[in-house]
A and B are shown apart, each in its own frame.
Chain A
Amino acid sequence: DQQVKQNSPSLSVQEGRISILNCDYTNSMFDYFLWYKKYPAEGPTFLISISSIKDKNEDGRFTVFLNKSAKHLSLHIVPSQPGDSAVYFCAASGDSGGYQKVTFGTGTKLQVIP
């Protein structure tokens, strides 16, 4: 049962343009949504999060949008830079009886072309 889905395994974008990464979820009990970035041979690095009570959160070049009715969130990177090339994981967090259980999607590999 894949509760968090990233349907695009890969994405290529020209440097300077916008990168849009998408994520869908099925469990309406999730209360936080997160994006992690992962470079090869490194662990995932926290990028940005959004509470389920908000619809937008911005941090520099990164903005996450949440559409609760559609159970959909997206990460926008503007402008995209070659150093942004990595695998991006969407994740959702919810209370599981005293702790936050984090469920990850399968990832989208972003390539930013110089």
Chain B
Amino acid sequence: ETGVTQSPTHLIKTRGQQVTLRCSSQSGHNTVSWYQQALGQGPQFIFQYYREEENGRGNFPPRFSGLQFPNYSSELNVNALELDDSALYLCASSLAPSNHEQFFGPGTRLTVL
């Protein structure tokens, strides 16, 4: 059974640029959620994807967008990067949107200069 994987591991961007982060869900999981974890904070829910559509969204602006593909993998896109976007971005997969148990990937550390 393959776990959740994310790429890249680390990324450095400058303010105003755009970034794409990728996630492969655990085998058999059709639901992917994305979280932002700032330093010293807990993960904050960005959005969830199910059946290739956004299924729910947290308090994040529209410049945070995503995609889910037929194989359930997902992308997180952030446009017009701001310094405060520097954080660890975590992807989590679950068996279904109604399932509270989520399995996390190792995260992508994004630094915005």
A interface residues with partner B (beta carbon < 8 Å): 4, 6, 32, 34, 36, 41-46, 49, 89, 91, 93, 95-107
Contacts and interface: CB of A to CB of B under 8 A. Distances in A.
B97 A98 contact: yes
B50 A99 contact: yes
28 contacts: A4-B42, A32-B100, A34-B101, A41-B106, A42-B106, A43-B104, A43-B105, A44-B43, A46-B102, A95-B98, A96-B56, A98-B55, A98-B97, A98-B98, A99-B31, A99-B48, A99-B50, A100-B94, A100-B98, A100-B100, A101-B48, A101-B56, A102-B45, A103-B45, A104-B42, A104-B43, A106-B41, A106-B42
Nearest to A45: B104
A105 B113 CA distance: 27
**Interface size bracket, B side:** 20 to 34
Contacts of A4: 42
Given A4-B42, A105-B42, 5 more contacts: A32-B100, A36-B104, A97-B56, A99-B56, A106-B40
A105 B43 CA distance: 8
Contacts of A97: 56
Interface string B34-64: 0100001111110010100001101000000
B33 interface: yes
